[in-house]
Amino acid sequence: MTATLPTESTDAAQASTLRPAWVTDARVASWLRWVCTSAGAGTASRTALAPYDALPTIAVPDSTVEDVAAAVDAARHAQAAWSALPYSARAEVILRFHDLLVERQDEIMDLIQWEMGKARFHAWQEVLQVANLARHYARHGEAYLKPKKVRGAVPVVTSAKEVRVPKGVAGFISPWNYPLYMGVGDLIPAVLAGNAAVGKADPQAPLSMLWARALMAEAGMPEHVWGVVAGDGPSLGEALIDHVDYICFTGSTATGRIVAQRAARRLIGASLELGGKNPSIIRADADLDVAARGVVDASFANTGQMCIHLERIIVHTDVYDEFVVRLRAVTAAQTVGQTFDFSSQVGSLASAAQLEKVSRQVADAVAKGATVLAGGGPRPEVGPYVFAPTILEGVTDDMELCLGETFGPVISIYRATDDEDAIAQANRGKQGLSASIFSKDIAAAEAMAPRIRAGSVNINDGASLAAGSIEAGMGGMGESGLGKRHGSDGITRFTNAQTIVSSKVGPVGPPPGTPVEKFIAMANKQLVVLRRLRVR
């Protein structure tokens, strides 16, 4: 399925000409029905602009804060029956969703590109990641949640176990940069754990989430187990935190602080994946061709609009000049375009706001003395929000992009005298989400990795290996967030640990008729014996 780009300018009052042909009015209506809105609430709605032509997509009804409360209430009523199902029954729904997603992936790739502007390969990566997560948690989630037997208070006559129970209703505030992966990938383990969910669709890319919700319904998920609200971010986000039992947020560090503070007032748990200013270390022994490819892939993927993309490249001085030559060559070979096929490696930024931010940061750096080694500015001849893949040298602390997240196709490159210097540079700033090391000596790189403040460290890869290792937790240190997605943490975070203890003899204490002093003396002797026997 493809859409055709306009060959001439289009009047700004028109709707986007890129609407895929298969997106009929009937299909749109089938998605919009999943927006939680009050009956007769009026016609308030908002329409995003398609990045490829800066023209409106499709109007999506606005939810109100009252709609959020109603959606959570409906989810809470649905959660009881959903959690009562065997895990295998919930898993069957997710596996059917997996199959439908793989079968209809062209549809969601079209929508993601239309709403967000990324290259098609990076849209496909969202399909890949969500499919892998669906299979993984459907097959292994029950084992992650398996009751754990522990020793009772009194051997033989008492027993104890720890079980996992769902929190109730989990709330999700997901960003525009990965509307499928972030909108659905975290939700899958939450509902498999027995929770219901309410997700807030980002105003830039609501259709992708609504498409996924319709697909999940086709797979068999009951109507109110997953509710979707759409509209104003701050007001709906606050309302969601005020009603759910757990909040899962992905976004900026500044907003993450607000989410954490509001969740803390209600004493509910929160997982936060926030911003990063991610470094890559190129050691003196690195394969420079591998390093250049890896850096370019991780820096300009998703047009640089991903939390784990590389922004700071720290190169050993002995190989710096040669690495720069190769890095510029690989960067120059990237095809920048707006196509609904796989011919472009770098797509558009998502919005005028993103273009303004990236342009401002690069202009600030250049004005203060940074040197442009590649790119350096917008590409309006390609598209309204396109920015060229950019490499900067000579970035200093007084420049906004030095330690501030750019979230665009821009990297800065630095020299390091040795590994110690490289680690010190990598640990600058307060964020710690992702990092990478390129080296032929994997053992040496693995020894360096724990000294870098980052939730994930990729060796001889820029970012994707850690993100794709879904049995391992993924999250940040420092100001890059709290909690982990993926692995066991990715599902247990949506549960409460409950301890269940049993006694075969009733209450444990002095038997009837036995003096308390005698009971205590017997217990003290037991303590001495257990210590001598090294019993824990």
pLDDT digits (tens, 9 = 90+) for 149-172: 999 988 789 999 999 999 999 999
Closest CA to 323 of 349, 344, 298, 292: 292
Residues catalogued as catalytic: 273, 307
Q: In this structure, are residues 411 and 404 in contact, taking their beta carbons and an 8 Å threshold?
A: no
Q: What is the CATH number of the domain that holds 165?
A: 3.40.605.10
Q: Give the pLDDT confidence score for residue 153 in this predicted structure.
A: 87
The verdict on 360 and 427 lying in the same domain is: yes
> What are phi and psi for residue 79, nearest 5 degrees?
-65, -35
The verdict on 338 and 224 lying in the same domain is: no
Q: Is residue 233 part of a domain?
A: yes
Q: Is residue 48 part of a domain?
A: no
- Its pTM stands at 0.94
Domain carrying residue 361:
278-471
Q: Give the pLDDT confidence score for residue 1 in this predicted structure.
A: 39
Q: Give the pLDDT confidence score for residue 13 in this predicted structure.
A: 53
Q: Is residue 74 part of a domain?
A: yes
Q: Give the pLDDT confidence score for residue 11 in this predicted structure.
A: 43
Q: Give the pLDDT confidence score for residue 43 in this predicted structure.
A: 63
Q: In this structure, are residues 270 and 259 in contact, taking their beta carbons and an 8 Å threshold?
A: yes
Residues 477-506 pLDDT 10s:
999 999 999 999 999 999 999 999 999 989
Residues 368-388 pLDDT 10s:
999 999 999 999 999 999 999
- Helix residue ranges per DSSP H, 219-311: 233-241, 253-266, 288-300
The verdict on 293 and 210 lying in the same domain is: no
The verdict on 256 and 293 lying in the same domain is: no
How large is the average pLDDT for residues 335-363?
97
The verdict on 389 and 456 lying in the same domain is: yes
Q: Give the pLDDT confidence score for residue 40 in this predicted structure.
A: 54
The verdict on 191 and 106 lying in the same domain is: yes
The verdict on 261 and 168 lying in the same domain is: yes
Q: How large is the angle between the packed helices 105-116 and 87-103, nearest 10 degrees? A: 70
Q: Is residue 504 part of a domain?
A: no
The verdict on 438 and 294 lying in the same domain is: yes
Out of 256, 274, 292, pick the residue that ends a domain: 274
The verdict on 462 and 313 lying in the same domain is: yes
Distances (CA, A) of 442 to 132, 297, 438, 458, 509: 27, 20, 9, 11, 58
Out of 253, 274, 295, pick the residue that ends a domain: 274
Q: Sorting pLDDT into bands at 50, 70 and 90, what band is 418? A: very high
CA pseudo-torsion sign 421, 322, 310, 384 = positive
Residues in the chain, overall count: 536
Q: What is the CATH number of the domain that holds 420?
A: 3.40.309.10
Locate 418 and state its tokens: 């040795």
Residues 194-207 pLDDT 10s:
999 999 999 999 99
Out of 451, 471, 491, pick the residue that ends a domain: 471
Q: How far apart are CA 224 and CA 82, in angstroms?
A: 10
Residue 474 backbone zone (phi > 0: left; psi -120 to 50: alpha; other: beta): beta
What is the number of structural domains in the chain? 3
Q: Give the pLDDT confidence score for residue 204 in this predicted structure.
A: 97
The verdict on 259 and 146 lying in the same domain is: yes
Q: Is residue 501 part of a domain?
A: no
The verdict on 398 and 297 lying in the same domain is: yes
pLDDT at 339 over 60: yes
The verdict on 421 and 521 lying in the same domain is: no
**Strand (E) or helix (H) holding 368:** none
pLDDT at 281 over 90: yes
